[in-house]
Amino acid sequence: MTGSFIEAPVAGATDPVLEIRDLSVALPPWADRPLAVKSLSLTVGRGETLCVVGESGSGKSVMARSILRILPEPQLRIASGQILLDGEDLAQAEARRMRQIRGGQIAMVFQEPMVSLNPLMTVGRQIDEILEVHTDWRKAERRRRVIATFDDVRLPDPKSIVDAYPHELSGGQRQRVMIAMSLVLEPKLIVADEPTTALDVTTEAQVLTLLKDLQTKHGTALMFITHNFGVVAEIADRVAVMRFGELVEYGTVGEVLNRPQHPYTKALIDAVPSLVPRKRPVPAADLPAEPILTVRGLEKTFGRPSVGLPWLTRLLPLMGQGRRAAVKAVNKVDLDIRRGSAVALVGESGSGKSTLARCLIGLEQADAGSALVGGNEIVGMSRSAWRPLRSRVQMVFQDPFASLNPRTRVGDIIARGAILQGQSPDAAMAQAQQLLELVGLEAKAADRYPHEFSGGQRQRIGIARALAVKPDILIADEPVSALDVSVQKQVLDLLDDLRRQFGLTMLFITHDLRVAAHVCEEIVVLKSGAIVERGMTADIFANPQHEYTRTLLSSVPGRNWQLTGRRDQPQTIT
C-alpha cells in the first residue's frame, strides 16, 4: 500500500470510499469569515490514509465533523455540496439514516480522550452502547466483542479494563479506548481529529503504530486530521493542506512533503523545527567556565502524608487512611548552567521538568538540596529575600492566554516588574515600548489589552515582560507548545536572537526534541524527576547513551523524513 504512491499521477483516490464534492460550511453571521469550509473537494480511497493538515482556524476540524453531521447546528451548518459515502449523499440523509452511519459505517476519534469520554460511565459500557444501538446482539455477546476489541488495541488486561472508569486509565490507554470505540463495528472510514496531539511523544508513537497496524488488518480508510508534519510523514498515503477553509495543496505524501507547490505549504514545511542539531553560536571555549546556576541534590516531593492530629491517627487507625503516597517530582537533581549557554530540559509529562523550573524561580520551595543563582543560595530563602533576586531570573510561561492579566494594559504588564525594581514609571514605560518593538510589535501596543493580540503576539508580550527587568537567566517553560507551527518558528527565532543580543542564559523546558534541537546546544533529559542523560545536543542526538533517550528520539514522528530529507521508504516505528 505504501510502495506505489510516489508515482501516482492523480490527486484523488481511484477507489473512493468517501468523496466530498464542493463542500461549504457556513459560519454564524458574527464570525470573522462567512464560510468555515469553502467549496472543498476531497476523496478518501478504500484502505488508505489521507492526512488533512492545517493550522488552527483552517477549518479542518469543521470539515471532519461535517462528514458525520455532528456540527454544532444551527451556528455551523452545511451550506452546499455533497458528502458521498459509497455514492450515498450524507449531506442530504435523514437524521435516522445518519444515526445508522455514525459509529456503524463512519467512526470518529477525537483529540482529547479525557474529555471525549463520559467520566461517569465505565469505558466498557461506553463501547457497549455502540453495539447496543447498531446490533441486536445479547449482552454477553456484546461484552465478548468489547473485550476482543480491547485486546485488538493492545490494552493490558482487557477483562478488567472494561469495568474501569476513564480517570483510572492513562492518557495513552484512554486514546486506545477511543480507537477501540471507533473500530468495534469495523466501519468503512475512521475520521481521527488530532488523536495524538494531547499525548506524550512515546505514547504518540505507539498510538500511530497501532492505528497503522489496525488499518492494514481491517482495511479501513483513515482520514487523519493533524497540524504536525512529522505525523504526516509517518503515516500518510496522501495529504491535503487546508488554509482559511480552502484546499491549497492536495497530493501524495511524497509530492507534498518533498516538492510542495503552494507557497503556504512550503512555508509550513520550512517552519517545522529541524531535528538536525544546530551549531553552537559561540565556541565552547569562549564561554566563561564558572556556572551562573548551580544545583546540587535538589528535591521536591508532593503530597506528603498529612501531619494533622498524629495522636488521633494513632488512637484511631482509620483516620490515617486518607494520606496520599508521596510523589518525588524532583529527585536529587544536579545541574550546572554556564553563563551565556542555552540548556534544554527535555522530558514527558510528569517528568518533573516544570517543577524543577518553578523551584529555580522560587514559585515552589524545594524540600532539600541547594541551588545557587549567581552565588546566592535560594533553597529556603524567604519571599522578601527573593525580591532583589527576581530581576536576575525571569520566566516565560506556557500558556500565552492565561499568563497575561486580561484587565491590564500590555504596557503596564511589561513595565510593572521594572517599577517594582525601583525604576521610575515613565522610564519603565518608555522601556516597555522599546521592548515591544524589540520583540516585533509596535510601541503603541502598550496601550492595548492582551485579548486584542493573537497567541504568538501574546507570547512576544510575555517575552518582553520577562526581559523588562534585565534578567541574567531566562527560564522558558514550553513557550511555543500552544502555538501553531509557523508562529512557533518565529517565536523560537526571536528567543534565539534576544539571547545572543543580551547574552542571556536560557533554560528551555520542552517536551519536543525538535524544538530543543532548534534553540539549545546543551540538553538534559529528565525522567520521573531524575536526570537520565545530559550533554551537547549534537552528541546526544548522534549517540544517545540512555535507553530512555533512545526511545524518545526514535519516537519523534517523521524523523526519517527530516534526517534523510525524503520519505520514500515505508516507515517503521520502533
- Binding residues (CB under 8 A) for another protein: these are 65, 68, 70, 72, 99-104, 107-108, 110, 112, 115-121, 129-130, 133-134, 165, 167, 178, 181, 316, 318-319, 321-325
**Complex with another protein: residue 185 or 292, whichever CB lies closer:** 185
State the minimum distance, in angstroms, from the CB of residue 117 to another protein: 6
Between strands 342-346 and 327-338, the pairing is unpaired
Minimum CB distance to another protein, residue 462 (Å): 28
Nearer to another protein, 69 or 353 (CB): 69
CA 324 to chain CA mean position, Å: 30
Residue 116 C-beta: closest distance to another protein, Å: 5
Shortest reach from residue 198's CB to another protein, in Å: 11
* Cell of residue 68, nine digits: 458525520
Of the pair 165, 502, the CB lying nearest another protein is at 165
Complex with another protein: residue 116 or 431, whichever CB lies closer: 116
With respect to another protein, which residue has the nearer C-beta, 121 or 148?
Answer: 121
Measured from the CB atom, the residue of 119 and 422 that comes closer to another protein is 119
CB of 118 to another protein, least distance (A): 4
CB 134 within 8 A of CB 185: yes
CB 528, min distance to another protein, A: 19
Residue 34 grid coordinates: 462567512
| Degrees, nearest 5: CA angle 169-482-30 | 105
Cβ closest to another protein, residue 133 vs residue 402: 133
φ, ψ of residue 67 in degrees (nearest 5): -60, -40
| CB 367, CB 303: distance < 8 Å | no
Nine cell digits for residue 490 = 518565529
Choice between 28 and 288, CB closer to another protein: 28
Considering the complex, what minimum distance in angstroms separates the CB of residue 421 from another protein? 44
Please tell me the distance from the alpha carbon of residue 488 to that of residue 459, in angstroms, as a whole number. Answer: 10
Q: Which is nearer to another protein, 131 or 491 (CB)?
A: 131
Q: Interhelix angle for 139-152 vs 123-134, to 10°?
A: 120
Q: Rounded to the nearest whole angstrom, what is the least distance from the CB of residue 109 to another protein in the complex?
A: 9
3-state secondary structure 238-291: EEEEEECCEEEEEEEHHHHHHCCCCHHHHHHHHHCCCCCCCCCCCCHHHCCCCE
Rounded-to-integer distance, Cα 533 and Cα 541, Å = 11
From the CB of 330, what's the least distance to another protein, in Å?
22
Residue environment code for 198-218, b if the CB has 16+ CB neighbours within 10 A, otherwise e: bbbbbbbbbbbbbbbebbeee
Q: Are 533 and 515 in contact (CB under 8 A)?
A: no
Going by the DSSP 8-state scheme, the letter that residue 220 receives in this structure is: -
Least distance between another protein and beta carbon 124 (Å): 13
Cell of residue 69, nine digits: 453531521
Give min distance, CB of 174 to another protein, in A. Answer: 12
> HSE-up of 117 (CA within 13 Å, CB side)?
29
| Closer Cβ to another protein, 286 or 311, answer by number | 311
CB of 515 vs another protein, minimal distance in Å: 28
From the CB of 257, what's the least distance to another protein, in Å?
Answer: 30
365: exposed, middle or buried (C-beta count within 10 Å: 0-12, 13-18, 19+)? middle
Contacts of 259 (CB under 8 A, 6+ apart): none
Residue nearer to another protein on the CB measure, 111 or 209:
111
DSSP 41-103: EEEEETT-EEEEE--TTSSHHHHHHHHTT-S-TTTSEEEEEEEEETTEEGGG--HHHHHHHBT
Q: Which three cell numbers stand for residue 198?
A: 494531547
Which of 320/369 has CB closer to another protein?
Answer: 320
Q: Three cell numbers at 87?
A: 455514492
103/245 with CB nearer another protein: 103
Joined grid coordinates for residue 116: 471525549
Cα distances (Å, whole numbers) of residue 367 to 294, 356, 395: 16, 12, 21
CB atoms within 10 A of CB 56: 13
Shortest spacing between CB 134 and another protein, in angstroms:
6
Phi then psi for residue 351, to 5 deg, are -80, -10
Q: Torsion-angle region of residue 81: left (phi > 0), alpha (psi -120 to 50) or beta?
A: left
Toward another protein, which CB reaches closer, 134 or 546? 134
